[in-house]
Structure 1
Amino acid sequence: MNNKHRERSVKRAKKATVRERLADLLELPGDLAYNGCIITLIGEREILLENYRSILEYRSDHLLVLTGNGKIRIQGVALHVLYYTELEMKVTGQITSVLYEI
Protein backbone atom coordinates (compact mmCIF):
# COMPACT_ATOMS: atom_id res chain seq x y z
CA MET A 1 0.00 0.00 0.00
CA ASN A 2 1.50 3.36 -0.98
CA ASN A 3 1.65 6.40 1.33
CA LYS A 4 -1.08 8.32 -0.48
CA HIS A 5 -3.52 5.43 -0.14
CA ARG A 6 -2.58 4.96 3.54
CA GLU A 7 -3.15 8.69 4.25
CA ARG A 8 -6.62 8.53 2.67
CA SER A 9 -7.50 5.48 4.79
CA VAL A 10 -6.40 7.25 7.98
CA LYS A 11 -8.42 10.36 7.08
CA ARG A 12 -11.53 8.24 6.41
CA ALA A 13 -11.11 6.46 9.75
CA LYS A 14 -10.76 9.76 11.62
CA LYS A 15 -13.80 11.19 9.83
CA ALA A 16 -15.85 8.09 10.74
CA THR A 17 -14.81 8.37 14.39
CA VAL A 18 -15.83 12.03 14.55
CA ARG A 19 -19.15 11.18 12.88
CA GLU A 20 -19.76 8.37 15.38
CA ARG A 21 -19.04 10.61 18.37
CA LEU A 22 -21.27 13.37 17.01
CA ALA A 23 -24.08 10.92 16.28
CA ASP A 24 -23.85 9.54 19.83
CA LEU A 25 -23.79 13.03 21.32
CA LEU A 26 -26.85 14.11 19.33
CA GLU A 27 -28.53 10.71 19.87
CA LEU A 28 -29.19 10.33 16.15
CA PRO A 29 -30.66 7.07 14.86
CA GLY A 30 -28.15 4.82 13.11
CA ASP A 31 -29.80 5.07 9.69
CA LEU A 32 -29.37 8.86 9.70
CA ALA A 33 -25.97 8.98 11.34
CA TYR A 34 -24.29 6.32 9.23
CA ASN A 35 -26.35 6.52 6.04
CA GLY A 36 -27.54 3.01 6.81
CA CYS A 37 -30.08 0.95 4.94
CA ILE A 38 -33.03 -0.29 6.98
CA ILE A 39 -34.01 -3.87 6.16
CA THR A 40 -37.34 -5.22 7.37
CA LEU A 41 -37.87 -8.91 6.70
CA ILE A 42 -41.47 -10.11 7.02
CA GLY A 43 -41.27 -13.86 7.32
CA GLU A 44 -39.68 -15.43 4.27
CA ARG A 45 -42.09 -13.86 1.76
CA GLU A 46 -41.47 -10.06 1.92
CA ILE A 47 -38.62 -7.66 2.48
CA LEU A 48 -38.76 -3.88 2.76
CA LEU A 49 -35.59 -1.87 2.05
CA GLU A 50 -35.32 1.78 3.06
CA ASN A 51 -32.51 4.26 2.33
CA TYR A 52 -31.08 2.41 -0.65
CA ARG A 53 -29.36 4.10 -3.61
CA SER A 54 -30.10 1.97 -6.66
CA ILE A 55 -30.87 -1.46 -8.03
CA LEU A 56 -27.76 -2.95 -9.64
CA GLU A 57 -29.15 -6.35 -10.70
CA TYR A 58 -32.68 -7.69 -10.80
CA ARG A 59 -33.51 -11.30 -11.69
CA SER A 60 -36.11 -13.71 -10.41
CA ASP A 61 -33.48 -15.55 -8.32
CA HIS A 62 -31.58 -12.55 -6.91
CA LEU A 63 -31.60 -8.81 -6.45
CA LEU A 64 -28.46 -6.72 -5.88
CA VAL A 65 -29.03 -3.31 -4.30
CA LEU A 66 -26.50 -0.52 -3.75
CA THR A 67 -26.67 1.22 -0.37
CA GLY A 68 -24.64 4.00 1.21
CA ASN A 69 -22.37 1.47 2.92
CA GLY A 70 -22.12 -1.39 0.45
CA LYS A 71 -24.35 -3.80 -1.39
CA ILE A 72 -27.18 -6.03 -0.28
CA ARG A 73 -27.88 -9.24 -2.18
CA ILE A 74 -31.31 -10.81 -1.76
CA GLN A 75 -31.52 -14.39 -3.01
CA GLY A 76 -34.62 -16.46 -3.50
CA VAL A 77 -37.21 -17.90 -5.86
CA ALA A 78 -39.74 -15.93 -7.92
CA LEU A 79 -38.53 -12.59 -6.53
CA HIS A 80 -40.58 -9.61 -7.63
CA VAL A 81 -40.12 -5.91 -6.85
CA LEU A 82 -43.66 -5.02 -5.85
CA TYR A 83 -42.88 -1.28 -5.80
CA TYR A 84 -39.98 1.11 -5.40
CA THR A 85 -39.64 4.82 -4.75
CA GLU A 86 -36.67 7.06 -4.03
CA LEU A 87 -36.94 6.10 -0.36
CA GLU A 88 -38.01 2.46 -0.21
CA MET A 89 -38.73 -0.73 -2.09
CA LYS A 90 -40.74 -3.86 -1.34
CA VAL A 91 -39.71 -7.26 -2.68
CA THR A 92 -41.90 -10.36 -2.55
CA GLY A 93 -41.22 -14.02 -3.29
CA GLN A 94 -39.54 -16.92 -1.52
CA ILE A 95 -36.54 -15.24 0.16
CA THR A 96 -33.74 -17.68 0.95
CA SER A 97 -30.96 -15.31 2.05
CA VAL A 98 -29.98 -11.69 2.57
CA LEU A 99 -26.26 -10.96 2.26
CA TYR A 100 -24.36 -7.78 3.00
CA GLU A 101 -21.41 -7.17 0.67
CA ILE A 102 -18.80 -4.48 1.23
Structure 2
Amino acid sequence: MSDALQLPKDLTLGAVITTITGKHEAYVENYMSLIEYTETLIRIQARTCKLEIHGAQLEIAYYTNDEMKITGLIEEVKYC
Protein backbone atom coordinates (compact mmCIF):
# COMPACT_ATOMS: atom_id res chain seq x y z
CA MET A 1 0.00 0.00 0.00
CA SER A 2 2.82 2.43 0.84
CA ASP A 3 4.33 1.78 -2.60
CA ALA A 4 1.03 2.42 -4.38
CA LEU A 5 0.48 5.68 -2.52
CA GLN A 6 4.18 6.57 -2.70
CA LEU A 7 4.37 7.12 1.05
CA PRO A 8 7.62 6.73 3.00
CA LYS A 9 7.87 3.31 4.65
CA ASP A 10 8.89 4.81 7.98
CA LEU A 11 5.47 6.49 8.17
CA THR A 12 3.34 3.56 7.08
CA LEU A 13 5.26 0.72 8.73
CA GLY A 14 6.61 2.59 11.75
CA ALA A 15 10.15 1.54 10.88
CA VAL A 16 12.96 2.75 13.09
CA ILE A 17 15.30 5.24 11.43
CA THR A 18 18.94 5.22 12.56
CA THR A 19 21.35 7.89 11.34
CA ILE A 20 24.98 7.44 12.36
CA THR A 21 27.47 10.26 11.92
CA GLY A 22 31.00 8.92 12.16
CA LYS A 23 31.81 6.86 15.26
CA HIS A 24 30.56 9.34 17.84
CA GLU A 25 26.96 10.28 17.10
CA ALA A 26 23.72 8.47 16.34
CA TYR A 27 20.14 9.68 15.92
CA VAL A 28 17.28 7.24 16.42
CA GLU A 29 13.77 8.10 15.23
CA ASN A 30 10.45 6.22 15.53
CA TYR A 31 11.38 4.33 18.69
CA MET A 32 8.87 3.16 21.28
CA SER A 33 10.83 2.86 24.53
CA LEU A 34 14.22 2.57 26.13
CA ILE A 35 14.91 -0.95 27.43
CA GLU A 36 18.46 -0.69 28.79
CA TYR A 37 20.88 2.19 29.23
CA THR A 38 24.47 1.71 30.35
CA GLU A 39 27.80 3.24 29.40
CA THR A 40 28.49 0.35 27.00
CA LEU A 41 25.00 -0.62 25.75
CA ILE A 42 21.83 1.21 24.81
CA ARG A 43 18.93 -1.11 23.94
CA ILE A 44 15.84 0.45 22.34
CA GLN A 45 12.44 -1.07 21.50
CA ALA A 46 11.08 -0.08 18.10
CA ARG A 47 7.84 -1.26 16.53
CA THR A 48 9.33 -3.91 14.34
CA CYS A 49 12.58 -4.78 16.17
CA LYS A 50 14.95 -4.06 19.01
CA LEU A 51 17.94 -1.84 18.35
CA GLU A 52 21.20 -2.30 20.25
CA ILE A 53 24.02 0.22 20.20
CA HIS A 54 27.29 -1.07 21.69
CA GLY A 55 30.29 1.09 22.50
CA ALA A 56 32.05 3.05 25.22
CA GLN A 57 31.07 6.17 27.15
CA LEU A 58 27.62 6.08 25.56
CA GLU A 59 25.21 8.82 26.62
CA ILE A 60 21.78 9.93 25.54
CA ALA A 61 22.39 13.60 24.80
CA TYR A 62 18.67 14.30 24.44
CA TYR A 63 15.41 12.55 23.68
CA THR A 64 11.86 13.42 22.75
CA ASN A 65 8.84 11.24 22.01
CA ASP A 66 10.05 10.94 18.41
CA GLU A 67 13.84 10.89 18.44
CA MET A 68 16.97 10.62 20.53
CA LYS A 69 20.62 11.54 20.09
CA ILE A 70 23.28 9.16 21.35
CA THR A 71 26.91 10.21 21.76
CA GLY A 72 30.07 8.32 22.69
CA LEU A 73 32.25 5.80 20.90
CA ILE A 74 29.86 3.70 18.78
CA GLU A 75 31.40 0.33 18.00
CA GLU A 76 28.44 -1.76 16.82
CA VAL A 77 24.76 -1.42 15.91
CA LYS A 78 22.49 -4.49 15.94
CA TYR A 79 18.89 -4.96 14.85
CA CYS A 80 17.37 -7.88 16.79
Fold shared per TM-score above 0.5: yes
The CA distance in 2 between the partners of 1:24 and 1:96, in whole Å, is 34
| Bigger share in strand | 2
The CA distance in 1 between the partners of 2:48 and 2:32, in whole Å, is 10
C-alpha RMSD of matched pairs (Å): 0.5
SS state at 2:4 partner: helix
Equivalent runs, 1:51-66 vs 2, <5 Å: 51-66=30-45
**Higher-Rg member (1/2):** 1
The CA distance in 2 between the partners of 1:43 and 1:30, in whole Å, is 25
Per-residue Cα deviation, 1:17-38 (whole angstroms, up to 9, x for no partner): xxxxx11110010101211011
Structure 2, unaligned runs of 5 or more:
none
Higher relative contact order (CA 8 A, sep 6+): 2
| Bigger share in helix | 1
The two structures have a TM-score, normalised by structure 2, of: 0.98
SS state at 1:60 partner: coil
Which of 13, 16, 19 is 1:37 aligned to?
16
The two structures have a TM-score, normalised by structure 1, of: 0.77
Aligned structure 1 segments of 4 or more residues deviating by more than 2 angstroms: none
Which of 39, 45, 61 is 1:82 aligned to?
61
